Amino acid sequence: MNKTIKIYIALLVVILLAILVIDYNRPKPIDWRPTYNVNDKIPFGLYVFDHESKKILKNDSIFKITKTPYEFLDSQFVPDTILGKYKITGTVMSIGKNIPIDAESWKEIFYFVSHGNTAFISATNFPQIFSDSLNVETDAYFDYVNKTYNGVFNPNLGTQKYQLEEDLNTSFFTSIDTMNTQVLGFLESDTTHVNFIRTKFRSGQFILHLQPAAFTNFHLLKNNHYQYAEKVVSYIPEGNLYWFLKSNPEEAISNSPLRYVLSQPSLKWAWYFSLIGIIIFMFFNAKRKQRVVPIISPLTNSTVDFTKTIGNLYYQEGDHDNIIEKKIIYFLEKIRNQYLIDTQKLDDDFVQKLHQKSGKSESDIQAVISLITQFRKKNHGSVESDLIKINNAIEKIIL
């Protein structure tokens, strides 16, 4: 491990420790999300209601159902009679701000109630099936000026009104089936509106409540608000109670091994920064490491320099015959290799072949052949002008 990697690791550890210390000493902000989750201890969770349910709910047995209503109730249905029957009886319950129960589950709940059972639903609104089957309508545009109170109409439960301001729902029933419905509670400001009813449905009944915030941790622990929740659930008949928890959208518990880490802000950010640090470390160390490649100069062509040196030596010595002879040898060798022409006889036939293959002027070729022939006949005593003349003639052909 080189020095650079050690520096990166040390910086990463220091940053993570600093983040953990700062986050640990920082006051944890309050989570005001209305989750209505039985595992949440935040203000609008149902942790307190869940742990106090045996005291608040006067039912024989309370069963927490994590399946959807359709999955659970359909598995309890026995189609062994004309109309069929359920193996269980009692009350189904769901509490949440917006209950995302699917259409098939709502149908199954209505069918369960029609067999002489009860459904307790506390939510801020209800789907269309309630309007179609129970003739109830709600409105969420109640404008209040003064303080708003919730209460029940049963004098046996007292006339106390409760001021629930936090996460207050101002929905109310605008239309009910008066022949089959009993008004149980109200929402009061400048005017009084119904927000808690009990309505018959065939052999069973629905208990509908529009103020689910009453069951949250915040209100069960604030002043005497728990009394209002107790009064509301006191209308639930005795017997078995089936509490559907999966109706809450955030109720599903993750099976991820990082569930606890990601649920804690400090650990979550430490985990994220660790991943970011590892990615940065891998990025900077992914480059191929090697020593600097030295620049190697290409080898010089010493043949050219050698030729120039020998040529200058002959020229200084005045050995023009030797230089001319080598020029002729080079010229004829070039002709043989480039044009594949026999150079044994430098006659007219040779001139014609070289003219046709090279495209050079026939007179220039004839001039070179004449100079070569004259030189070979003379073969000594050449002067500088002879060298220049034959060199210029050769260059017209091979350049």
How open is the CA angle 208-69-231, to the nearest 5 degrees?
A: 30
Per-residue confidence (pLDDT) for residue 13, from 0 to 100: 82
For 300, 311, 323, 327, the CA distances from 307, given in Å and listed in that order, are 14, 6, 11, 12
Q: For residue 220, report the phi and psi dihedrals to the nearest 5 degrees.
A: -70, -20
pLDDT at 243 over 80: yes
Q: Give me the mean pLDDT over the 133-154 stretch.
A: 83
Per-residue confidence (pLDDT) for residue 21, from 0 to 100: 80
Q: Give me the mean pLDDT over the 276-301 stretch.
A: 74
Lowest mean pLDDT segment, chosen from 73-77, 197-201, 296-300, 340-344: 296-300
- What domains are defined for the chain? 47-249 (3.40.50), 302-398 (no CATH)
Per-residue confidence (pLDDT) for residue 249, from 0 to 100: 45
**Pairwise CA distance, residues 122 & 214, whole Å:** 10
The string of pLDDT tens digits covering residues 385-395 is 877 888 888 88
Per DSSP, helices labelled H in 66-176 are: 69-75, 103-114, 128-134
Band of pLDDT at residue 210, cut at 50, 70 and 90: very high
For the chain, give the mean pLDDT.
Answer: 85
**Pairwise CA distance, residues 252 & 242, whole Å:** 17
Helix, coil or strand: residue 90: coil
Whether the Cβ atoms of residue 395 and residue 367 lie closer than 8 Å to each other: no
Per-residue confidence (pLDDT) for residue 248, from 0 to 100: 47
**Pairwise CA distance, residues 205 & 92, whole Å:** 11
The string of pLDDT tens digits covering residues 301-359 is 666 666 667 667 666 666 777 888 888 888 888 888 888 888 888 888 888 988 888 88
Band of pLDDT at residue 4, cut at 50, 70 and 90: confident
Lowest mean pLDDT segment, chosen from 120-129, 192-201, 275-284: 275-284
Token pair of 125 as six digits: 């609104």
**Pairwise CA distance, residues 326 & 336, whole Å:** 15
Whether the Cβ atoms of residue 36 and residue 96 lie closer than 8 Å to each other: yes
Per-residue confidence (pLDDT) for residue 252, from 0 to 100: 46
Q: What percent of the chain has pLDDT over 90?
A: 41
